[in-house]
């Protein structure tokens, strides 16, 4: 699996601190380290949320230890504040930010394209296309990070994280731990505006060596020599390769330009590669990120080349790609039919009944929602009179039959904040928020403090099953021992609620 390959890359990189917050499709990275890494002298622990996870990894890096933080796409939203500041401070030990996007989406609330965060934060970003590259790029990201003195974002998608293939491994490296941490306020203190200006100049200067580093580590490749050029990145390369396998002597017709470094855009590589192209097709997931950059580069150089992609309707703006979509598009460009059916179309040929996912058999929160719905009826209300705000977690499956319980599910901790908003907005009947224990620890405490402080009358159900269930049964702050065997000081949710004045 791609995530297991990344875990192997962690071992080969000499990474010592691995942190993160569970989230499909990224969870198996840290889980694999937990399963196989107890004898490898690696600190690998889940954090209470992605922001804390990143800051732990950053602190380790400033002391010279190599570190990696893992999260799914929406997690980088949570961690973005310290990530942007870290770009100004830089790093000492290698720091990799693994962010796993979910085109489709398959398990995520939005089809977020996290590539824009590289541009926003001005941090280098690498994009592997396979489990082999996932492992290799993890190693490269650490070397790249230390060479450029910046965190490096490793952006994957579900089909890379969960793909299964053979991987050629290298030797394990001893973990690189703390070396030293020197006081340097102009570098590390973001309260000085003049210092911040100088650090911004430093950041822009560092980015100028990124393309040279990409060349040093063998990133960005060209295959074929045709005049029809196909620019790809990440898993899109695999779709193109599979389609072109059905085109005789495709190397003489098509040039595949594989962009492994997504930020900064490798200008010189692209200009050299695009030379001689009569048509350019850009295939990527999910937004037209590369397409906009390539178009701007061609216009800047006054190169008159037809560009095809998402912006002119040759590829969809929504949903993940597949070989059928890619083959149809390449067929249009090349002028003949190489269309192949997708697996999804094959499955549609079978009469399979719809099976929306329910709460798991034996889940205690089936009864939690049944009791809640019975309580609403006992209080004299109809079921659809009383809003039930849901949150991120497996209990969101209560939206499906037979419970049909929750009305909303937006982001971590939003159930409490949104319930409060409805109430202060003038809603007169009772309002209910339901939130799981891990989500409460992640982002539920702050909105609950807000509701208590403002004396907003809410019913909040903390559905405590003492585990991060949906992503694979990871630990929460209530555990006495973590997956790696470290003893903890457990946090009691009931005592925590009492301490902030919850009735």
**How confident is the model at residue 362, as a pLDDT?**
86
Q: What is the pTM of this model?
A: 0.94
Q: Is the pLDDT of residue 491 over 60?
A: yes
The least confident of 30-34, 105-109, 335-339, 451-455 is 335-339
Are 155 and 233 in contact, with CB atoms under 8 Å apart? no
Q: Is the pLDDT of residue 146 over 90?
A: yes
Q: What confidence tier does 338 reach under pLDDT thresholds 50, 70, 90?
A: confident
Output the CA–CA distances (angstroms, integers) from residue 413 to 109, 376, 380, in the order listed. Answer: 14, 23, 29
Provide mean pLDDT across the span 275-282. 95
The CATH class of 221-347 is alpha beta
Q: What confidence tier does 318 reach under pLDDT thresholds 50, 70, 90?
A: very high
In angstroms and rounded to an integer, the radius of gyration of the C-alpha atoms of the chain is 25
Domains in the chain: boundaries:
2-216, 221-347, 364-499
Higher pLDDT, 322 or 356: 322
For residue 433, which phi and psi values (nearest 5 degrees)? -120, 135
Q: Is the pLDDT of residue 184 over 70?
A: yes
Identify the CA nearest to 107 among candidates 24, 223, 11, 200.
24
2-216 and 364-499, same CATH topology: yes
The architecture (CATH level 2) of 2-216 comes to 3-Layer(aba) Sandwich (3.40)
Are 478 and 491 in contact, with CB atoms under 8 Å apart? yes
Q: What confidence tier does 342 reach under pLDDT thresholds 50, 70, 90?
A: low
Identify the CA nearest to 188 among candidates 199, 197, 177.
199
**How confident is the model at residue 349, as a pLDDT?**
67
**How confident is the model at residue 244, as a pLDDT?**
92
Q: pLDDT > 90: what percent of the chain?
A: 84
Are 460 and 497 in contact, with CB atoms under 8 Å apart? no
Preceding amide of 181 cis, omega within 30: no
Q: What confidence tier does 340 reach under pLDDT thresholds 50, 70, 90?
A: low
Q: Is the pLDDT of residue 343 over 90?
A: no
Q: What confidence tier does 336 reach under pLDDT thresholds 50, 70, 90?
A: confident
Q: What confidence tier does 167 reach under pLDDT thresholds 50, 70, 90?
A: very high
Of 149-158, 437-446, 489-498, give the range with the top mean pLDDT.
149-158
Identify the CA nearest to 175 among candidates 7, 17, 9.
17
Query: How many Å apart are CA 230 and CA 282, to the nearest integer?
Result: 6
Output the CA–CA distances (angstroms, integers) from residue 441 to 21, 73, 201, 408, 418, in the order listed. Answer: 11, 19, 38, 20, 17
Q: Is the pLDDT of residue 341 over 70?
A: no
Query: How many Å apart are CA 267 and CA 116, to the nearest integer?
Result: 17
Q: What confidence tier does 5 reach under pLDDT thresholds 50, 70, 90?
A: very high
List own/partner pairs for 130-133 with CB under 8 A and 24 or more apart. 130/2, 130/160, 130/163, 130/165, 130/238, 131/1, 131/2, 131/4, 131/5, 131/160, 131/163, 131/164, 131/165, 131/167, 132/5, 132/165, 132/166, 132/167, 132/168, 133/260
Provide mean pLDDT across the span 95-118. 96
Task: Give me the half-sphere count of Cα atoms (radius 13 Å) on the Cβ side of residue 137.
Answer: 30
Q: What confidence tier does 345 reach under pLDDT thresholds 50, 70, 90?
A: low
Q: pLDDT > 70: what percent of the chain?
A: 98
Q: Is the pLDDT of residue 337 over 80?
A: no
The CATH class of 364-499 is alpha beta
DSSP string, 338-405: -----HHHHHHTS--------PPTT-HHHHHHHHHHHHHHHTT--GGGS-EE--SSGGGGGGSTTT--
CA 254 to chain centre: 32
The least confident of 56-70, 190-204, 349-363, 487-501 is 349-363
**How confident is the model at residue 358, as a pLDDT?**
84
Q: What integer best gives the mean pLDDT of the chain?
A: 94
**How confident is the model at residue 334, as a pLDDT?**
86
Give the DSSP letter of residue 468. Answer: B
Identify the CA nearest to 130 among candidates 37, 30, 236.
236
Residues 438-489 pLDDT 10s: 999 999 999 999 999 999 999 999 999 888 888 888 988 889 998 888 899 9
Residues 229-243 pLDDT 10s: 999 999 999 999 999
**How confident is the model at residue 346, as a pLDDT?**
61
């Amino acid at each position: 699996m791609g995530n297991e390959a990344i875990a192997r890359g962690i071992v080969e990189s000499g990474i010592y601190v691995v942190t993160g917050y569970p989230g499909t499709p990224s969870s198996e990275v840290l889980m694999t380290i937990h399963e196989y890494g107890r004898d490898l002298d690696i600190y690998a622990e889940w954090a209470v949320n992605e922001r804390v996870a990143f800051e732990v990894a950053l602190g380790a890096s400033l002391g010279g230890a190599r570190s990696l933080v893992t999260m799914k796409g929406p997690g980088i939203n949570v961690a973005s504040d310290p990530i942007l500041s870290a770009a100004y401070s830089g790093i000492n030990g290698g720091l990799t930010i693994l962010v796993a996007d979910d085109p489709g989406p398959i398990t995520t609330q939005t089809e977020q394209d996290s590539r824009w965060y590289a541009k926003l934060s001005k941090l280098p970003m690498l994009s592997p296309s396979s489990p082999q590259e996932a492992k290799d790029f993890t190693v490269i990201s650490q070397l790249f990070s230390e060479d450029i003195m910046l965190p490096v974002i490793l952006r994957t998608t579900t089909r890379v994280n969960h793909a299964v293939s053979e991987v050629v491994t290298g030797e394990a490296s001893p973990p690189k731990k703390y070396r030293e941490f020197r006081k340097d306020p102009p570098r590390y203190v973001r309260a000085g505006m003049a210092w911040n200006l100088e650090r911004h100049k430093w950041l822009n200067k560092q980015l100028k060596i990124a393309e040279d580093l990409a060349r040093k580590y063998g990133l960005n490749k060209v295959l074929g020599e045709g005049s029809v050029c196909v620019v790809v990145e990440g898993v899109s390369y695999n779709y193109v390769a599979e389609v072109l396998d059905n085109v005789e002597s495709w190397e003489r017709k098509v040039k595949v330009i594989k962009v492994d470094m997504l930020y900064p855009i490798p200008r010189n590589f692209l200009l050299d590669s695009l030379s001689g192209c009569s048509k350019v097709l850009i295939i990527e997931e999910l937004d037209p990120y590369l397409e906009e950059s390539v178009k701007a580069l061609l216009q800047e150089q006054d190169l008159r080349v037809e560009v095809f992609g998402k912006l002119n309707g040759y590829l969809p703006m929504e949903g993940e790609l597949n070989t059928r979509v890619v083959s149809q598009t390449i067929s249009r460009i090349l002028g003949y039919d190489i269309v192949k059916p997708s697996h999804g179309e094959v499955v549609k040929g079978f009469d399979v009944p719809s099976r929306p996912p329910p709460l798991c058999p034996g889940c205690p929160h089936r009864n939690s929602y049944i009791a809640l719905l019975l309580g609403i009826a006992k209080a004299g209300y109809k079921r659809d009179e009383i809003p039930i705000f849901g949150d991120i977690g497996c209990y969101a499956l209560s939206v499906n039959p037979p419970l049909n319980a929750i009305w909303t599910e937006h982001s971590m901790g939003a159930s409490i904040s949104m319930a409060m908003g409805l109430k202060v907005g003038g809603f007169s009947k009772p309002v209910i928020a339901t939130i799981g224990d891990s989500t409460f620890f992640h982002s539920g405490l702050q909105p609950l403090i807000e509701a208590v402080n403002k004396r907003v009358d809410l019913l909040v159900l903390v559905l405590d099953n003492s585990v991060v269930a949906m992503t694979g049964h990871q630990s929460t702050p209530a555990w006495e021992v973590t997956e790696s065997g470290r003893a903890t000081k457990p946090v009691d949710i009931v005592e925590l609620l009492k301490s902030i004045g919850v009735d």
